[in-house]
Amino acid sequence: MHIPDGFIAPQIYIPAYILNALLLTYAFRSLMRSLNERTIPYLSFVSLISFVISSIAIPLPGGTSVHGTGIPILSILFGPFTAFVSYSLILFLQAVLFGEGGITAFPINSLCIGFVGSLFAFLTYKVLRSFKEETSVVISSFVSILTSALLIAIILGIHPYLFKKADGSPLYFPFGLSVTIPAMFIPHLFVGFGEGLLSSIVVKILRRRIKVEG
């Protein structure tokens, strides 16, 4: 799901950097207010899980790949703003150290996966909290993954219509919405379900652990 460098126009990634910086500033302040000695080890552990999950890319035909995020676990356990900060740091480290994603595409990845993914996971979980815990977590994870994938597909897919060379050929990303939406949405149906199952297991284990220590 990570967008590499060269696909996003500066007319989009520069404003995205500004918006991302403002949201991260607010989210970081929220994170600092909520952190304590008891939550730091669990946040570090779940962030590590998220880093590993999102680093395992499954290649697909056509030169693309899919991966999980770990975002739902972070968001459900620690809140959307903490999840946003944590995953943005993960994205930055992956881009700098491993070349997964790009520096110019970082704010798009951070906003679509980190912010939107966290927010939708958290809100969906809250709406469904009257349901069984495992069901709520699975559905929240599913919605989070699909929402992020769809948003990235739209951002990429509008580029051929907005940014063209003099001869009419695409200047940046070459494929339109008719390609990007199914290419991103369909594979992530399976990713969302798999992440939902994993998230429900991890959330259940950590809630028990936190409750015992509490």
Identify the CA nearest to 126 among candidates 172, 157, 80: 80
Coil/strand/helix, residue 191: helix
Two tokens at 116?
A: 């939107």
Q: Quick one: pLDDT at residue 208?
A: 75
Convert the pLDDT of each residue in 43-64 to its tens digit.
Answer: 888 899 899 888 877 766 655 6
**Rounded CA gap, 60 and 72, in Å?**
24
User: Is residue 20 within 8 Å of residue 104, measured between CB atoms?
Assistant: no
Q: Quick one: pLDDT at residue 60?
A: 65
Two tokens at 202?
A: 């991890």
Q: What's the pTM value of the predicted model, to 2 decimals?
A: 0.90
Q: Quick one: pLDDT at residue 63?
A: 55
pLDDT surpassing 80 at residue 212: no
Domain boundaries, the chain: 10-57+64-213
pLDDT surpassing 80 at residue 2: no
**Rounded CA gap, 84 and 134, in Å?**
23
| Lowest mean pLDDT segment, chosen from 94-103, 126-135, 184-193 | 94-103
Ramachandran class of 62: left when φ > 0, alpha when ψ lies in -120 to 50, beta otherwise: left
pLDDT surpassing 90 at residue 124: yes
Beta bridge partners of 66: 58
Q: Quick one: pLDDT at residue 168?
A: 83
Write out the DSSP string of 113-175.
IIIIHHHHHHHHHHHTTTS-HHHHHHHHHHHHHHHHHHHHHHHHHTHHHH-B-TTS-BSS---
| pLDDT, mean of residues 177-190 | 90
Convert the pLDDT of each residue in 4-20 to its tens digit.
Answer: 788 899 999 999 999 99
**Rounded CA gap, 112 and 156, in Å?**
12
Q: Selecting from 1.10.150.240, 2.30.110.10, 3.40.47.10, 1.10.1760.20, what CATH number does the domain 10-57+64-213 have? A: 1.10.1760.20
On average, the pLDDT of the chain sits at 88
pLDDT surpassing 70 at residue 146: yes
Percentage with pLDDT > 90 across the chain:
53
Binning pLDDT at 50, 70 and 90, where does residue 33 land? confident
The one-letter code for the residue type at 155 is: I
Coil/strand/helix, residue 67: coil
Distance of CA 173 to the CA centre of its chain: 20
* Helices and strands (H and E) in the chain: how many: 9, 2
| pLDDT, mean of residues 31-43 | 83
